[in-house]
Amino acid sequence: MTTTLITGANKGLGHETARRLIAAGHTVYIGSRDAERGRRAAERLGARAVLLDVTDDASVAAAAKTIEADGGLDVLVNNAGIEGRTQDGGVVGAAEVTAGIMREIFETNVFGVVRVTHAFLPLLQRSAAPVVVNVSSGLASLSAVTAEGTPTYAYPGVAYPASKTALNMVTVQYAKAFPNMRINAVEPGYTATDLNGHTGIQTVEVGAEIIVRMAQVGPDGPTGGYFDAEGTLPW
Ligand SMILES: NC(=O)c1ccc[n+]([C@@H]2O[C@H](COP(=O)([O-])OP(=O)(O)OC[C@H]3O[C@@H](n4cnc5c(N)ncnc54)[C@H](OP(=O)(O)O)[C@@H]3O)[C@@H](O)[C@H]2O)c1
C-alpha cells in the first residue's frame, strides 16, 4: 500500500492528482491550509484530510506527526503554490515587483517546499520506495524564458518564475543528496485553475498527467530531472 501526501490538494491540479492516485490505489492525504476546504475535498475524493499550511512550521510539524502516527509516507507531492497577481488580475512585472512580493512568493513556492520536505524526510527515509514530486513550471526554465518569440519569453512576471527556478535547484540538490529517493520537478503546462484566473489553455485532467506519472515512478525511474508530459525539459 502506497501512502501519498499532496500539498494544496483541496482544488486545482493537486485535487485532480489526488483523484487519479486514489484510483491507482494510493492512500492519499489531501493537504489543505483550510480545514473545511480540506475536509470537503477529502470527502469528495475518498481521501484523508490533513491540515497543512506550507508557510507555517507548526502546521507542517503537526501534519508530519499525524501521518507518522498513521503509519508513514511513501510519496510526497509538493504541489501548493501561488503566482501572486496584481489586484486587477495582472502578472506582477519587473516595474512593480518588490522584495516583499518576492518574499511572499518564495515563502510558499520555495521555503514551503523545503519546510515540508525537511519535516517528512524521516518518514520518507523509512519507505521502501520513497518518491518526491515538486510541481515546478515551464517558466522555471532559463532556456525557455530566453527563447525569443515563444509565449514563455513573453511572460513578464519576476517572482513566480524565479521561485520555480529556485525550486528546480532545490530538486536537483535533494536528488543528489538522497539517491535512494526518486525526486523530480515537473511542469504541468498552462492549465485552467484559480492560480491564473482560469486563463490556462488545458484542463486539470491533462495538467495532472505528469504529476501523476512522476508520483508513480519506480526505484529504477529517473531522479533529479525536470519533465513535462512529453519528456525532459531544458533547465
Ligand atoms: N495552473 C497552471 O497553469 C500551472 C502551470 C505550471 C505550474 N503550476 C503549479 O501547479 C501547482 C498547483 O497550482 P494550481 O494551478 O492547481 O493552482 P490552484 O488551483 O490555485 O491551487 C493551488 C493550491 O495551493 C494551495 N496553497 C496555496 N498556498 C498554500 C499554503 N501556504 N499552504 C498550503 N496550501 C497552499 C491552495 O490552497 P487554497 O485553496 O487554500 O488557496 C490550493 O489548494 C502550483 O505549484 C503551481 O505553481 C500551475
CATH number for the domain spanning 222: value is 3.40.50.720
Total domain count, the chain = 1
Q: What are the helix (H) ranges across 128-195?
A: 142-145, 151-154, 159-177
pLDDT of residue 87: 85
Domain of residue 63 covers 3-232
Average the pLDDT over 184-195 and give the result: 98
* Pocket lining for ligand 1, CB < 6 angstroms: 7-8, 10-14, 33-34, 37, 52-55, 79-82, 108, 112, 135, 137, 187-188, 190-191, 193-196, 200
Q: Is the dihedral of CA 212, 215, 220, 224 positive or negative?
A: positive
Confidence of residue 88 (pLDDT cuts 50, 70, 90): confident
CB 151 within 8 A of CB 142: no
CA 74/CA 132 separation, integer angstroms: 9
DSSP of 6-37, one letter per residue? ETT-SSHHHHHHHHHHHHTT-EEEEEESSHHH
pLDDT, tens digit, for every residue of 65-75? Answer: 999 999 999 99
Within 10 angstroms of residue 142's Cβ, the number of other Cβ atoms is: 12
Sole residue written with cell 515563502: 107
Q: Which of 28, 52, 79, 109, when mutated, tests ligand 1's pocket best, judged by the most ligand atoms within 8 Å of its CB?
A: 79
Task: Give me the percent of the chain exceeding a pLDDT of 70.
Answer: 100
Average the pLDDT over 33-58 and give the result: 98
pLDDT, tens digit, for every residue of 2-37? Answer: 999 999 999 999 999 999 999 999 999 999 999 999
Does the predicted TM-score (pTM) go above 0.95? yes
Task: Give me the percent of the chain exceeding a pLDDT of 90.
Answer: 98
pLDDT of residue 89: 86
pLDDT of residue 94: 97
Closest by Cα among 112, 103, 105 to 56? 112
Within 10 angstroms of residue 206's Cβ, the number of other Cβ atoms is: 16
